[in-house]
Amino acid sequence: MRTIAVVIEYDGTDFAGFQVQQGKRTVQAELCRAVQKITKEKVAVIGASRTDAGAHATGQVVHFRTTCRIPIERVPAALNSVLPRDIAARWAWEADDSFHARYSALSRVYRYTVWNHPVRSALMERYAYRVSQPLDIEAMQEATRYLIGKHDFAAFASEVGRYRNTVREVYSAHLLARQPLVWLRIEANGFLQGMVRAIMGTLIEVGLGKRTPDAMAQLLESGTRQQAGFNVPAHGLCLVRVNYDRSTILKKGVTGG
């Protein structure tokens, strides 16, 4: 039995999210079908992160276990030959038997993109949330600094009752701007459902002068979702990277590009 890990990219526009849902088109269901076609085996495909409906990924990681002997260097091309156009396998590696795409992850990195312009962009419409009013980037950057460290992020979680523990550690958080594009790039050991979208909604309110930057610290202390900002739409959200301890997961060298 082999454990194969694959880095996956997808445009989430036409998906009901990553995870399999009865009667709905999902990324995981399409991947399961593709893996079955190339391995001739019905196997489970496990993802590192359950992205929301409409959210995208350039660095989602999945794994599956198979007895198929397809060479690892051929796996991305084989998958791409049967995957739909809005999903692509970027590269693959043969992992240790203990590897698990979700539970072996040390951190995940998400990016949220804002199109800050009074006129919409045809090219960015699917991948960025438009804010037509000018944003105070410096105030948003100041607010972002409060996110770094270990905090209770209950104020930024959807359906907070589903979690035993809402404490997460944010390793880095950067608000970057190259007008008209504004990005939040955030890395943490884990994310609550809706967390990045609620954080970005709060930052936008800071940028519009509706909140002061130190309101971010107050929200972290409050733990009350109703006090935080709105959830921005999922189409501006992208999972860009999942990080692992390479010394423990690699059975054979990384292949692909």
Query: Known catalytic residues?
Result: 52
CA max distance for the chain: 58
The β-bridge relationship of strands 56-66 and 2-10 is: antiparallel
Angle at 26 between CA 193 and CA 249, to 5 degrees: 70
Residue 60 CB partners (closer than 8 Å, separation 6+): 7, 8, 9, 10, 18, 27, 47, 48, 49, 51, 239, 242
The CA-to-CA distance between both ends of the chain, in Å, stands at 25
DSSP readout, 118-138? SS--TTTTTT-EEE-S---HH
DSSP readout, 12-48? GGG-S-SS--TTS--HHHHHHHHHHHHHSS----EES
